[in-house]
Amino acid sequence: MIRRNSVPESQNEMSDSQSGLQQWHSQLLSRRRFLLGLAGGSVAALFPAVCLPLSSKPATIDEWAILGQVQQHLLPDEADSPGAVKIHALDYLRFVVQDPWVDADERQFIVQGSHWLEDLAHSREQTSFLLLDQARREQLLQQIADSSAGENWLSTLLLYLMEALLTDPAYGGNPAGTGWQWLQHTPGYPRPPADKIYPKLNV
Amino acid sequence: MNNEYDVCVIGSGAGGGPVAWTLARAGHSVLVLEKGPWFHTQDFYKDELACCRRSVYTPELKNEQHVLEDENEDGSWTATPTSESGRDFWNGNCVGGSSNFMSGFFHRLKPVDFHQLSEFGPLAGSNRVDWPIDYEDLEPYYDKVEKIIGVSGKFSQHSNAEPRSSADFPFPPTQEHAISGWIDDACAQLDYHALQVPRAILSRPHNKRRSCEYSGYCGSYGCASNAKGSSRAALLNDAVNTGHCHIQPHSKVDKLISNAKGQVTAARYFDRQGEVHQVRAKIFVVACQAIESSRLLLNSSGPRCPQGLANNHGQVGRNLLFSAGGSGSGDFAYQDLSAEKQQQLKVVGPFVNRALDDWYVIHDPAFRQQAHKGGIVEFLFQHPNPTGKANSVKWNSDGKLRWGLPLKRQLESWFTTDRTLNFEVFNDWQPNDNCFVTLDPKVKDQWGTPVARVRTGIHPFDLQVGDYLAEKGKAVLKQMGAVRIRGGASSSPPPNLVAGGCRFGSDPKTSVLNADCRAHDVDNLYVTDASFMPTGGAVPYTWTIYANAFRVADIISARMTG
- Residue to test with chain A: of B53, B91, B498, most A Cβ within 10 A: B53
Averaged pLDDT, A56-65? 80
- Model pLDDT, residue A15: 37
Residue length of chain A: 203
CATH fold for domain B1-58+91-152+202-322+495-562: FAD/NAD(P)-binding domain (3.50.50)
Q: Does position A81 have pLDDT exceeding 90, yes or no?
A: yes
The percent of residues in chain A predicted with pLDDT above 70, rounded, is 71
Q: For residues B103 and B446, give the distance between their C-alpha atoms in angstroms, rounded to a whole number.
A: 31
Q: For residues B532 and B535, give the distance between their C-alpha atoms in angstroms, rounded to a whole number.
A: 9
Residue numbers in A near B323 (CB within 8 A)? 3
- Say which residues have a Cβ less than 8 Å from residue B492's Cβ, sequence separation at least 6: A5, A18, A21
CA distances from B547 to B97, B108, B524 (A): 16, 9, 21
Question: Is residue A148 within 8 angstroms of chain B, CB to CB?
Answer: no
Residue type, B5: Y
H-helix or E-strand spanning residue B197: none
Q: pTM of the entire structure? A: 0.94
pLDDT averaged over every residue in chain B = 97
Q: For residues B53 and B44, give the distance between their C-alpha atoms in angstroms, rounded to a whole number.
A: 15
Helix axes of A89-97 and A148-166: crossing angle, nearest 10 degrees: 110
- By DSSP bridging, strand B324-333 and strand B483-490 are antiparallel
Q: Does position A30 have pLDDT exceeding 60, yes or no?
A: no
Angle at A33 between CA A28 and CA A39, to 5 degrees: 140
Residue type, B406: P
Confidence at A202, pLDDT banded by 50, 70, 90 = confident
Choose the closest CB to B102 out of A1, A8, A193.
A1
- Model pLDDT, residue B3: 80
Residue numbers in B near A19 (CB within 8 A)? 488, 490
Coil vs helix vs strand at B512: coil
Q: Does position A1 have pLDDT exceeding 70, yes or no?
A: no
Q: What are phi and psi of B257, to 5 degrees?
A: -95, 130
Choose the closest CB to B415 out of A171, A184, A197.
A184
Question: Is residue A180 within 8 angstroms of chain B, CB to CB?
Answer: yes
Tell me if B355 sits within 8 A of B449, measured CB to CB: no
- Model pLDDT, residue B86: 87
Distance from A56 to chain B by nearest Cα, in Å? 29
- Model pLDDT, residue A57: 62
Residue of chain A whose Cα is closest to the Cα of B388: A10
CA dihedral sign of residues A14, B322, B103, B352: positive
Query: Domain-by-domain residue ranges, chain A?
Result: 21-45+59-185
Looking at chain B, the domain(s) classified CATH 3.50.50.60 span 1-58+91-152+202-322+495-562
DSSP, residue by residue, A39-96: TT--HHHH-TT---------S---HHHHHHHHHHHHS--BTTB--TTTTTHHHHHHHH
Confidence at A58, pLDDT banded by 50, 70, 90 = low
Residue numbers in A near B385 (CB within 8 A)? 13-14
Q: Does position A48 have pLDDT exceeding 90, yes or no?
A: no
Across the interface, do A6 and B89 touch by the CB < 8 Å criterion? yes
- Residue to test with chain A: of B215, B401, B407, most A Cβ within 10 A: B401
- Model pLDDT, residue B410: 97
Across the interface, do A18 and B490 touch by the CB < 8 Å criterion? yes
Q: Does position A115 have pLDDT exceeding 60, yes or no?
A: yes
Window 49-68 of A, Cβ < 8 Å to B: none
Question: Is residue A86 within 8 angstroms of chain B, CB to CB?
Answer: no
Residue numbers in B near A80 (CB within 8 A)? none
Helix axes of B542-561 and B135-145: crossing angle, nearest 10 degrees: 100
**Cα–Cα nearest to B54, from A3, A200, A68, A194:** A200
Question: Is residue A141 within 8 angstroms of chain B, CB to CB?
Answer: yes
Q: Does position A52 have pLDDT exceeding 70, yes or no?
A: no
The percent of residues in chain A predicted with pLDDT above 90, rounded, is 66
Question: Is residue A35 within 8 angstroms of chain B, CB to CB?
Answer: no
Distance from B244 to chain A by nearest Cα, in Å? 23
Residue numbers in A near B49 (CB within 8 A)? 163, 167-168, 171, 197-198
Query: How many helices, marked H, and strands, marked E, lie in chain A?
Result: 8, 0
Coil vs helix vs strand at B424: strand
Q: What is the mean pLDDT of each run of 10 residues along chain B (562 residues)?
A: 89 98 98 98 96 93 96 93 93 97 97 97 97 98 98 95 97 98 98 98 97 95 97 98 98 98 97 97 98 98 97 98 97 97 96 98 95 97 93 93 98 97 98 98 98 97 98 98 97 95 98 98 97 97 98 97 84
- Model pLDDT, residue A11: 31
H-helix or E-strand spanning residue B171: none
Tell me if B424 sits within 8 A of B378, measured CB to CB: yes
- Model pLDDT, residue A26: 47
Ramachandran region of residue B339, left (φ > 0), alpha (ψ -120 to 50) or beta? alpha
Choose the closest CB to A167 out of B48, B58, B213.
B48
Choose the closest CB to B405 out of A18, A21, A76.
A76
Coil vs helix vs strand at B46: coil
In this structure, what DSSP letter does residue B105 have? Answer: B
